[in-house]
Amino acid sequence: MATQSSPPLRILVIGAHPDDCEIKAGGVAALYRQRGHVVRFVSVTNGDAGHHEISGPPLAARRAQETLASGAVCGVEYEVLANGDGQLVPSIPVRWELISMIRRFQPDLILTHRPNDYHPDHRATSQLVCDAAYMVTVPAVVPNVPFLKTNPVIAYLSDDFQCPYPFRPTVVVDVTPVFPEIVDMQAAHISQFYEWLPYNQGILDQVPADPVQRKAWLATQAKERLKKVADRFRAELIATYGPERGAKVEYAEAFEGCEYGSPLTAENAKKLFPFFD
């Protein structure tokens, strides 16, 4: 809990597309906000290719509105950069854009994709964040924005990829208490969770037309994803929360320390993830 003696943490979640942050870190975002900490979601692309029927500026505008609705659920700040969906590369201009953004926000913790991922935009986002790390402390790089004196801690969002090595969690968080907020944030992205993603997965015909039934259907999808994380890292949950609670955790999110930022250690994890009291 943020107090006068302990100022609010500043948490920056950087995804490649609008909705990426909610899928992998919506739960911790809700937990941070409950405790008075500052959370900003960033989409490095504008998402203008993520649909089967519309694209370009109309889709980008629609998705920007969806981010506002999602952020309003828990009071999360949301920023969408102008880079094209499916066109992101780890270029110097975009690296400078991220360096500037990170410096201005001054995060205690950055969460982002791992470098190995199915989507080129996810991979590029990971590289851009890693390339911005350390450089945020170098005065001569992007000299028009004041440099940071400390490299922020960076952690990766979870995934199922095995090569070149599988995801290895440093921190696993019980997000069961905020599951409704997770669903509400995802439900705000109508173009994605009710249209594009089901279409892309070949299950569009399973999406109910009735709004109440549709949200219940989405909740089932979210439960499956988050339960899979909890079951996969059950041993870590038990080590963190103790045998009784750890065995009962239904839904979890997991994060792996990135070596390019300041180290995520057992000691500073208690401060950066203040959910384990």
CATH of the domain at 164: 3.40.50.10320
Q: Is residue 183 part of a domain?
A: no
pLDDT digits (tens, 9 = 90+) for 159-198: 999 999 999 999 999 999 999 999 999 999 999 999 999 9
CA triple 232-238-244, angle to 5 deg: 125
Q: b/e map of 188-201 (b: 16 or more CB within 10 Å)?
A: bbbbbbbbbbbeee
pLDDT digits (tens, 9 = 90+) for 32-52: 999 999 999 999 999 999 999
Q: What is the mean pLDDT of the chain?
A: 97
d(CA 270, CA 251): 20
Q: Is residue 244 part of a domain?
A: no
Provide the token pair at 65: 């509105």
pLDDT digits (tens, 9 = 90+) for 235-256: 999 999 999 999 999 999 999 9
Total count of domains within the chain: 1
Q: Is residue 236 part of a domain?
A: no
What average pLDDT score do residues 88-114 get? 98
How is the chain split among helix, strand and coil, in percent rounded to 5? 50, 15, 35
Q: Is residue 42 part of a domain?
A: yes
pTM: 0.96
Q: Is residue 100 part of a domain?
A: yes
Q: Is residue 136 part of a domain?
A: yes
Provide the token pair at 61: 């505008």
Is the pLDDT score of 4 beyond 60? no
**CA Rg, the chain, in Å?**
18
DSSP 3-state assignment of 15?
strand
Q: Is residue 148 part of a domain?
A: yes
d(CA 155, CA 111): 5
Give me the domain span that covers residue 126: 10-175+253-272
CB atoms within 10 A of CB 6: 10
Q: Is residue 206 part of a domain?
A: no
Q: CA dihedral in degrees (220, 224, 225, 226; nearest 10)?
A: 90
